[in-house]
């Protein structure tokens, strides 16, 4: 069970700074890492829990915190002395929204060690839909992303994030392809993007996993800029076995090659 403390209360006690507030949300996107707690404070000595029991592949809503510099630890749930991720002196500005995501793997033998990805979520408000794409699948390697059959991003690497891409409101076919093999990892057809919608699509999970809870998938989130209830999270069930029309997309991929 995920528990979030009132960050505005817990951190205001230890932060002497501008009264302006920033918004921060946290995501657990490391598929082999158990549930974690997030501790934060204005110094190493003042860190206190703000999120407890956050498990893969979940996230929090946006938590308001005072503007200032923070020291943030990510630890195994209930084990505050065992720091898995240590962020020091991170500046959070008022009137800005952030996403902090734990990505990579806990296994030291992997080439994608556990780390944190910090993103600013403030998109330019316009009548366009805005979509950001984040590659957080540790074993997918480079991926290509096709929109309506055309190549939109190629050789997109783990840990990378696009800016917000302005798209006209409408229906889109989006396909994620492993660059090294040409295999379709995930695809969704007729994804509806509405005017002024601001979203992030996280590619997550393990391509090599046979467990549907940890296999490659896409996490689609509503972001802070203009949505009425920021921080809501929806998992798109677009694993390879469940994709309608996947065979057609694979034929398209072969035709492109």
User: Would you state the pLDDT for residue 16?
Assistant: 43
Reduced to 3 states (helix: H, G, I; strand: E, B; else coil), residue 16 is coil
H or E element, residue 169: none
User: Would you state the pLDDT for residue 3?
Assistant: 74
| Cα–Cα dist 30/113, whole Å | 10
* Eight-state DSSP code of residue 240: G
| Cα–Cα dist 82/244, whole Å | 44
Reduced to 3 states (helix: H, G, I; strand: E, B; else coil), residue 252 is helix
| Cα–Cα dist 226/194, whole Å | 12
User: Would you state the pLDDT for residue 134?
Assistant: 98
The pLDDT tens digits for 146-167 are 999 999 999 999 999 999 999 9
The pLDDT tens digits for 50-90 are 999 999 999 999 999 999 999 999 999 999 999 999 999 99
User: Would you state the pLDDT for residue 122?
Assistant: 83
pLDDT band at residue 5 using 50, 70 and 90 as cut-offs: low
Structure tokens at 235: 């998992």
Residues 6+ apart with CB under 8 A from 126: 166, 196
DSSP code string of 205-221: SBTT---TTTBSEEEEE
Residues 6+ apart with CB under 8 A from 138: 30, 31, 103, 104, 105, 110, 112, 158, 206
The burial of 131, by beta-carbon neighbours within 10 Å (0-12 exposed, 13-18 middle, 19 or more buried), is given as buried
| Residue % of the chain over a pLDDT of 90 | 72
Once rounded to an integer, what is the mean pLDDT over residues 43-52?
A: 95
Domains of the chain: 1-122 (2.60.40), 123-257 (no CATH)
Residue 145 in this model has a pLDDT that exceeds 90: yes
What's the first-to-final CA gap in the chain, in angstroms? 46
Residue written as tokens 């956050």? 54
User: Would you state the pLDDT for residue 20?
Assistant: 83
Structure tokens at 23: 């918004």
Once rounded to an integer, what is the mean pLDDT over residues 179-192?
A: 95
User: Would you state the pLDDT for residue 19?
Assistant: 61
| Residue % of the chain over a pLDDT of 70 | 80
Alpha-carbon dihedral sign for residues 236, 116, 51, 2: positive
| Cα–Cα dist 133/164, whole Å | 8
The pLDDT tens digits for 216-257 are 999 999 996 543 333 344 444 333 222 222 223 333 444 445
Residue 34 in this model has a pLDDT that exceeds 50: yes
Residue 131 in this model has a pLDDT that exceeds 90: yes
User: Would you state the pLDDT for residue 1?
Assistant: 66
Structure tokens at 103: 């990505």
User: Would you state the pLDDT for residue 94?
Assistant: 87
């Amino acid at each position: 069970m995920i528990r979030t403390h009132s960050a505005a209360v817990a951190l205001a006690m230890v932060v002497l700074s501008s009264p302006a507030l920033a918004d921060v949300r946290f995501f657990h996107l490391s598929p082999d890492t158990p549930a974690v707690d997030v501790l934060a404070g204005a110094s190493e000595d003042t860190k206190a829990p703000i999120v407890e029991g956050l498990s893969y592949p979940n996230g929090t809503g946006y938590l308001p915190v005072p503007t200032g510099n923070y020291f943030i630890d990510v630890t195994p749930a209930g084990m505050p002395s065992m720091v898995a991720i240590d962020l020091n002196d991170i500046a959070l500005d008022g009137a800005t929204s952030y996403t902090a995501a734990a990505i990579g793997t806990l296994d030291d033998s992997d080439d994608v060690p556990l780390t944190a990805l910090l993103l600013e979520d403030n998109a330019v408000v316009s009548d366009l839909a805005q979509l950001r794409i984040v590659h957080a699948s540790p074993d997918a390697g480079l991926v290509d992303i096709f929109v309506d059959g055309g190549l939109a991003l190629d050789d997109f690497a783990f840990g990378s994030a696009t800016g917000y891409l302005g798209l006209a409101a409408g229906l889109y076919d989006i396909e994620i392809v492993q660059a090294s093999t040409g295999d379709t990892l995930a695809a969704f057809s007729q994804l509806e993007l509405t005017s002024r919608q601001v979203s992030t699509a996280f590619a997550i999970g393990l391509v090599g996993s046979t467990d549907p809870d940890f296999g490659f998938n896409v996490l689609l989130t509503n972001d802070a800029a203009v949505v009425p209830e920021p921080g809501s999270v929806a998992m798109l069930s677009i694993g390879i076995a469940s994709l309608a029309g996947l065979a057609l997309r694979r034929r398209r991929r072969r035709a492109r090659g």
